[in-house]
Amino acid sequence: MNYDEKQNAVSDLQIAYIGGGSRGWAWTFMTDLAMEKNMSGTIRLYDIDMEAAGHNERIGNDLSTREDASGKWNYETYSSLESALTGADFVVISILPGTFDEMAVDVHTPERLGIWQSVGDTAGPGGIMRSLRTLPMFVEIGEAIKKYSPDAWVINYTNPMTLCVKVLYCVFPEIKAFGCCHEVFGTQRVLKGITEQMLGLKDIERSDIHVNVLGINHFTWFDYASYRGIDLFPVYRDYIDSHFEEGFQEKDRSWMNSAFHCAHRVKFDLFKKYGMIAAAGDRHLAEFMPGDLYLKDPETVKSWKFGLTTVDWRKNDLKERLEKSRKLFEREEQVELKPTGEEGILLIKALCGLGRMVSNVNIPNTDGQISNLPVDEVVETNAIFDRNSIRPIMAGSLPQPVLDLIMPHVRVHDKTMRAALSPDLELVVEAFLEDPNVKAKKPSEKDVRLLVIDMLKGTKAYLSKEWEHWI
């Protein structure tokens, strides 16, 4: 990396991109890079699907050479982790552990015990099973980073976020890794919309909604929110008091027409119960709560105005993305150059010394940024990003009622990580029984054990041979 002080720009930046074969995140990344004029360099593409990486290489280079692209990058495909990582300044990880067939097992097999999941990639049985596939991969990636690019900044986009980042630090304690998630941004957009509506304001920038973030990924909370000196908690409370039943509908984000959107009624209900603003999408929040509340059954889910994201929907969405990739590769279409709303590139820019910014980030609680969570847990809080440094902002402590909601998941994380790295069937069973979604349905230990074994069998193609002892 070369820094030009006069131009306030960096060139010859080396970014290793691990994964991205599913294209969605890769295209977002490419778009933001193409719109950043103060950085240039090489994107090193590595994916176990070499064809997918090759497609991204061509799409990325086509985008970079366009006249309307201010950021100029060279995209190259690499055949090994060693070659992709050696000499890298940054490493971006965005992988899908397994296929959607395995995810179908994660999400839908627990339904036989009345356990419903709206996402299935972070909490609950789905999140646990996904971890068993993912964490050994992250051990391999972490060891490779330690060997070939120990000084690189590592940005993770892969779920389950908390455990992925935790394993990287377990493998390589000196690693400079952090996890990025946009769920907080979504809640800032909700606050923006409500504030505009309630106070008669227009065109508020999301970034001007200042918040204090504390919690764990996909189960984050605000205990402070303001806009230009205006305390937004009374505004939020007044809106909920008069709009609780219908919720809040964002423009072009109807919950009835999307597998991802919601009317934010779960957020509203959690605010009424706990006095804090839950800062993730309702689909994620529901999975962290006891399963007899928002995920009791599909009818209950519908009444709270969000949806169960089926794996069939994901498979159809993948088909559409692959078709889009084909059209981009064949140059029948072009990537649309417009801001994505993500902050990953801005964080890279800040770490390169081209600015300073505050954003939410997933890193270990080593500095006690959340004072009443364990220091070895990966937490989500705000942090200051500056030249070659991330300094977590002290977020304070979680109120006891909210802490009581989070701690079962901290225990599940511990059991899941140990189970994935051992491996150990008993720890998986214990993690299932501890999970609030499962626990609230009061299944027998025998039924849970049979469920675990069947789910392990359904994902065995992506598990180590050591699991054969149990399945």
Over residues 431-459, the pLDDT tens digits come to 999 999 999 999 999 999 999 999 999 99
Q: What is the chain's length?
A: 471
Residue 97, pLDDT above cutoff 90 = no
- Give pLDDT, residue 2: 79
Query: What is the 3-class SS of 33-60, one letter each residue?
Result: HHCCCCEEEEEEEECCCHHHHHHHHHHH
**Residue 23: pLDDT over 80:** no
Is residue 92 predicted with pLDDT exceeding 70?
Answer: yes
Amino acid (one-letter) located at 61: N
Cα 72 from Cα 64, distance rounded (Å): 5
CA distance 88 to 78: 12
pLDDT tens-digit readout, 27-51:
888 898 999 889 999 999 999 888 8
- Which string of DSSP letters, residue by residue, matches 64-128? HTSTT--S-EEEEE-SSHHHHHTT-SEEEEE---S-HHHHHHHHHGGGGGT---SS-SSSHHHHH
412/59: higher pLDDT: 412
Domain spans in the chain, listed from the N-terminal domain onward: 2-97+118-180, 183-309
Q: Which of 301, 280, 310 is nearest to 406 (CA)?
A: 280
**What pLDDT, on the 0 to 100 scale, is given for residue 253?**
65
| pLDDT at 5 exceeding the cut of 80 | no
**Whole-Å CA distances, 380 to 55, 134, 252, 257, 279:** 34, 20, 28, 30, 11
For residues 26 and 146, the model is more confident at 146
Decide if pLDDT at 203 tops 80: yes
Instruction: State the average pLDDT over residues 67-77.
Output: 91
User: Which region, left, alpha or beta, applies to residue 342 given φ > 0 means left and ψ of -120 to 50 means alpha?
Assistant: beta
- Looking at residue 191, its pLDDT comes to 97
Amino acid at site 391: R
Q: Is the pLDDT of residue 255 over 60?
A: no
Structure tokens at 316: 């159809």
370-385 exposure pattern, b = at least 16 Cβ within 10 A, e = fewer? beebeeebbbbbbbeb
**Per-residue pLDDT at 122:** 96
pLDDT band at 254 (very low <50, low <70, confident <90, very high): low
Distance between CA atoms of 178 and 90, rounded to whole angstroms? 11
Phi, then psi, of 464 in degrees rounded to 5: -70, 160
Mean pLDDT to the nearest integer, 138-152? 98
Q: What letter represents residue 60's amino acid? A: G
| Predicted confidence band of residue 259 (pLDDT cuts 50, 70, 90) | low
- What's the pLDDT at 235? 98
Q: Catalogue the active-site residues.
A: 182
Q: Indicate the burial class of 283 (C-beta count within 10 angstroms; 0-12, 13-18, 19 or more).
A: buried
Q: Which CATH number fits domain 2-97+118-180: 3.90.1820.10, 3.30.70.270, 3.40.50.300, 3.30.420.10?
A: 3.90.1820.10
pLDDT at 431: 98
329-355: average pLDDT: 87
Is it the case that residue 324 has pLDDT exceeding 70? yes
On average, the pLDDT of the chain sits at: 93
Nearest-angstrom CA–CA distance, 432 and 439: 8
pLDDT at 280: 96
Residue 227: what are its φ and ψ, rounded to 5°?
-135, 110
d(CA 257, CA 226): 31
**Residue 327's pLDDT band (cuts 50, 70, 90):** confident
- State how far the Cα of 123 lies from the Cα of 323, in Å rounded to an integer: 31
Distance between CA atoms of residues 434 and 449, nearest Å: 13
Which tens digits make up the pLDDT trace of 165-176? 999 999 999 999
Q: Report percent pLDDT > 90 for the chain.
A: 76
For residue 119, the model assigns a pLDDT of 95
Check: CB of residue 378 under 8 Å from CB of residue 385.
no
The tokens of 161 are what? 């976020």
Residue 64 has pLDDT above 80, yes or no: yes
State which H helix or E strand residue 252 sits in.
Answer: none
pLDDT value of position 29: 87
The pLDDT score that the predictor gives to residue 333 is: 84
Is residue 3 predicted with pLDDT exceeding 80?
no
